Amino acid sequence: MADFSAIDKYIDTHLEDSIAELARLCAQPSVSAQGLGITECAELVASLLRRRGFTVEVIATHGNPVVYAEAEGASDKTLLFYNHYDVQPPEPLELWDSPPWQLTRRDGKLYARGVGDDKGHIECRLSALDAVKAVTGSYPCRIKFVIEGEEETSSVNLESFVVNHAEKLKADACVWEFGGVSHEGKPEQYLGLRGICYVELSVQTASQDAHSGLGGSIFANAAWRLVWALNTLKDQSEHIRIPGFYDGIKPPSARDMELLAALPDDSEDHKRRYGLKGFLKGLTGGVELRRETVFVPTCTICGFTSGYQGPGSKTVLPARASAKVDFRLVPGQDPLDILAKLRQHLEAEGFSDVEVNYLGGERPGRTDPDDPFVKLTIEAAREAYGSEVVIVPMVGGSGPNHVFLDTLKVPIVSAGVGYPGGQAHAPNENIVIDNFLTGTKHTARIIEKMKEL
Amino acid sequence: MADFSAIDKYIDTHLEDSIAELARLCAQPSVSAQGLGITECAELVASLLRRRGFTVEVIATHGNPVVYAEAEGASDKTLLFYNHYDVQPPEPLELWDSPPWQLTRRDGKLYARGVGDDKGHIECRLSALDAVKAVTGSYPCRIKFVIEGEEETSSVNLESFVVNHAEKLKADACVWEFGGVSHEGKPEQYLGLRGICYVELSVQTASQDAHSGLGGSIFANAAWRLVWALNTLKDQSEHIRIPGFYDGIKPPSARDMELLAALPDDSEDHKRRYGLKGFLKGLTGGVELRRETVFVPTCTICGFTSGYQGPGSKTVLPARASAKVDFRLVPGQDPLDILAKLRQHLEAEGFSDVEVNYLGGERPGRTDPDDPFVKLTIEAAREAYGSEVVIVPMVGGSGPNHVFLDTLKVPIVSAGVGYPGGQAHAPNENIVIDNFLTGTKHTARIIEKMKEL
């Protein structure tokens, strides 16, 4: 058993070094959506790893390069960290209280674009590794980093990267890019993400808009075609009408339901925050609401547009209409299968004029709550935070965790510096310095305990 | 029988005076949508009428003032001209080939904002009155003008103006604000406008948008609510599903069908111009297509908006959605009745969360094709244009003609300087000088023939 009090002390006493390094990382813009500072940031991250003795490659993809790093350790176990060096655009700039590219300390917090998502997590992991090595003399296991540069633009090249480098990336366990504490400050452990199939449906019925007085009775109307097509996708009881949509779904296990039942009830918080009168299907809260939130697939209209949308009236018959639709998928479903079924359904319903443009997808991905690495991580969190851990078997959102799960067959856990007030993707993105320290201590424990896995 | 050759000659030889006066009218901006130059233009129009001996009142309304003018004539008949002094905004300015507020002569045409819609028609009528009076020594009948300042913003105060001043406005016949020639240069006579009921449907399901991964299965989605509500309004066979919608409709008469049958076939022109593959309901052209175009009521989605509409994907669950919908109405229907039925229908279908905002309406309005004043006008057109007249019993668009028809019980005809290339409401609005001359000669004949009515 390692001397965690010495490791914790090292982390505490080197806090200013960590913050200085994080400030350098945050000072380097790296906006993947705008192509800003990408190469420079990849090189900066590579240099931080090289300085620590890692063998580093900056590997080209069809998009932004991936920083891959590897260092030997005392055991034959391998721990893989997945992170990203790209960030969201900082706009709107006028809503920031301090410059987005300048790490600013205020009231026990650190503010900058990317400080939480995801540069603070990179720094947290580097600081944890430094502490473990300083105290024990070496890394307890082989350490690998995959730090990509396209997470904020849907990780479009990540899957082929992982598949093509599967041998190189081989590991026993993986720590995901994020993690942290709940509203009440309790450590949270996320174990699954729903999948997603995101499409744009569009219709064009004419080469230009017409006056509604002319064409109203005799011209096809793109807006009407789209409304009728959308209407065939889901009925008012929320049942998705695409044939085969629900095929093969794996329902939550008894253990999943037990974990859901143990989660705090956030139904009142949702109602207050979103001004809701209630929930769909007569749900009021409790485990049934939580099950519906994450273990049921969805069909959400994320937006639609057609014709005149300004103030007052304009009597126009629109030639074009389009809608963005996402399907959240649960274990047993696959985005490309859903896409094919959607296309078949629209064709069968007489909507061959509705074009389906696939804008991207992710498969659902889960880690077994009873995996030994999950148990190790939870035990480490209990020690670092001095608190029970909130275990979330599945969240409603989506991400590329399935890429690692399916290709590398590794369990994936979350650990880090996040908290609900972190303003990720928004102005005044921030982390709490105390959360940085505890997240780093938690990470150091995961690293150190790897040899026991 | 008046000496029309002398009247025509007067109109020809005084063309430059007419153009100079029209240039003054066009130099005065009068954009009702922007509140620009309204009072000044009303006063300018009043001064042009006073100079001709008219008794003029500039009458305040809840909106822009109406210029009302009256002059005595040799008979006890009364002819009422309806016009408007307001114009559309000139924007986008960069698309004009000459300044919008400066009447510019080019290739036999006159260019300016409002030159066709509707200042050229005001000038046409003034020039026709001048010619008749110069040649015959007096007006042959009492002449009245109602020149409003809100036609381009839906004439919202016109109905109450006409109702409140019904006695003052009493007339035997009315000439509408527009008129002119067809694509082939033949004079056209419009005898009816469909009605309209224009509404905005909106839904708000929450106080703010949510992440689709959070709310997709449990939060009501405004975009879905709107799609489902719209879907209940009309089915894919174009049948409008609001109970009672078709009640009381007066089908076209045998005479209407005869007039429709005599109209030129513009189906190929529509297909080419709008890039259409065909028409709804299997129609291909001929009288059945024309009947469907104007004698059948419609439900048109003019536009809708909700959630994310930018490039790529954003996983958002929208809190708000809205659609603009217009119903074109045929004789026997009434916009307020349709509005009430729409509200009742949505309520009955379970959409009490869909707010219906009435943005305005017009009743359908028609003049009998066999009315003596219509015959007089058609005969006058035959003489002035030396061509057969295209009689259009009903057009698909809408306007406030019902206000005069229902309150004053006058027949309404069209006569004027318009043509299909006039770019009304668009940059480079224009009239053809030859059309101005012929339209003025036509108008002079209508005036002169009033004593025979």
For B268, other C-beta atoms within 10 Å of its C-beta total 9
Is there a contact between A231 and B231 if contact means CB atoms under 8 Å apart?
yes
Reported as a single tens digit per residue, the pLDDT across B79-104 is 999 999 999 999 889 999 999 999 99
Ordered by start, the domain boundaries in chain A are 4-193+364-452, 195-249+297-362
Q: Which residues of A touch B197 (CB under 8 A)?
A: none
Band of residue A256 on the pLDDT scale cut at 50, 70, 90:
very high
pLDDT tens digits, one per residue of B195-226: 999 999 999 999 999 989 888 999 999 999 99
Stretch B422-436: mean pLDDT: 94
Cα–Cα distance, A211 to B50 (Å, whole number): 38
Cα–Cα dist B230/A230, whole Å: 11
What value does the mean pLDDT take over residues A343-370?
Answer: 97
Say if the Cβ atoms of B301 and A306 lie within 8 Å: yes
CA A431 to chain centre: 17
Position B347 scores a pLDDT of: 98
Q: Average pLDDT of B263-287?
A: 93
Per-residue pLDDT, averaged over B159-168, amounts to 97
Q: Is A339 exposed, middle or buried (0-12, 13-18, 19+ CB in 10 A)?
A: middle
Residue type, B169: L
Instruction: Answer yes or no: do B307 and A293 touch at CB < 8 A.
Output: no
Contact B292 A218 (CB under 8 A): yes
Between A and B, how many residue pairs show a Cβ–Cβ distance under 8 A? 249
Please check whether residue A140 is in contact with residue A448, taking contact to mean a CB–CB distance below 8 angstroms: yes
Report CA-CA distances (Å) from A181 to A11, A389, A392.
19, 9, 12
Report d(CA B371, CA A125) in Å as an integer. Answer: 90
Say whether A115 sits in a helix, a strand or coil. coil
CATH fold, domain B195-249+297-359, is: Alpha-Beta Plaits (3.30.70)
Whole-number Å distance between alpha carbons of B89 and A51? 65
Which pair of tokens denotes residue B69?
A: 């003018």
CA distance A155 to B313: 13
Both tokens assigned to B442: 């036509």
Whether the pLDDT of residue B444 is over 90: the answer is yes
Assess whether pLDDT exceeds 70 at residue B46: yes
Q: What's the token pair of residue B388? A: 């057969």
Residue of A nearest to B315 (CA): A302
User: For B212-224, what is the HEC assignment?
Assistant: HHHHCCCCCCHHH
Q: Mind telling me how many Å the CA of B207 is from chain A's nearest CA?
A: 5
Confidence of residue A62 (pLDDT cuts 50, 70, 90): very high
C-alpha span between B328 and A217 (Å, rounded): 9
**Do residue A328 and residue B213 have CB atoms under 8 angstroms apart?**
yes
Q: Residue A332: what pLDDT?
A: 97
**B382 pLDDT more than 90:** yes
Radius of gyration of chain A (CA): 24
Q: The tokens of A157 are what?
A: 């090249």
DSSP state of A450: G
ipTM of the complex: 0.89
Kindly list the residues from chain A whose CB atom is less than 8 angstroms away from the CB atom of residue B308. Answer: 302-303, 324
Task: Assess if CATH 3.90.400.10 describes domain A195-249+297-362.
Answer: no
CA–CA dist A268, A285 (Å, integer): 8
Is residue A234 pLDDT above 80, yes or no?
yes
Instruction: Note the pLDDT of residue A314.
Output: 85
Residue pLDDT, tens place only, B335-348: 999 999 999 999 99
Distance CA A43, CA A65 (A): 10
- How far off is chain B from A97, nearest CA to CA, in Å? 23
Q: Is A91's pLDDT higher than 90? A: no
In angstroms, the CA A363 to CA A336 distance is 9
Check residue B134 and report its DSSP letter.
H
Mutate to test the interface with A, among B241, B300, B308 (most CBs of A within 10 A): B300
Is B77 within 8 Å of B83 (Cβ atoms)? no
Query: What is the pLDDT at residue A2?
Result: 72
| pLDDT over 80 at A1, yes or no | no
Q: What is the pLDDT, as a whole number, of residue A425?
A: 87
Report residue A324 CA to chain centroid gap.
20
Per DSSP, helices labelled H in A105-190 are: 119-136, 158-164, 166-169
Topology given in CATH for the domain delimited by A4-193+364-452: Aminopeptidase (3.40.630)
| CA distance to partner chain A, nearest, from residue B211 (Å) | 8
b/e map of B235-254 (b: 16 or more CB within 10 Å)? eeebebebeebeeeeeebee
| H-type alpha helices, A14-59 | 15-27, 38-51
What pLDDT was estimated at residue B1? 60
Three-state DSSP string of A199-217? EEEEEECCCCCEEHHHHCC
User: How do residues B327-336 score in pLDDT, each as one tens digit?
Assistant: 999 999 999 9
Q: Residue B150: its pLDDT value, please?
A: 95
Residue-level pLDDT at B284: 94
Q: Burial, A95: exposed, middle or buried (Cβ in 10 Å; 0-12, 13-18, 19+)?
A: exposed
Neighbours of B413 (CB within 10 A): 24
Cβ distance of B350 and A309 shorter than 8 Å? no
Give the mean pLDDT of A19-27.
98
Q: Which residues on A lie below 8 Å from B283 (Cβ)?
A: 218
Give pLDDT, residue B153: 86
- Token pair in block for residue B245: 């919608």
CA distance B7 to chain A (A): 38
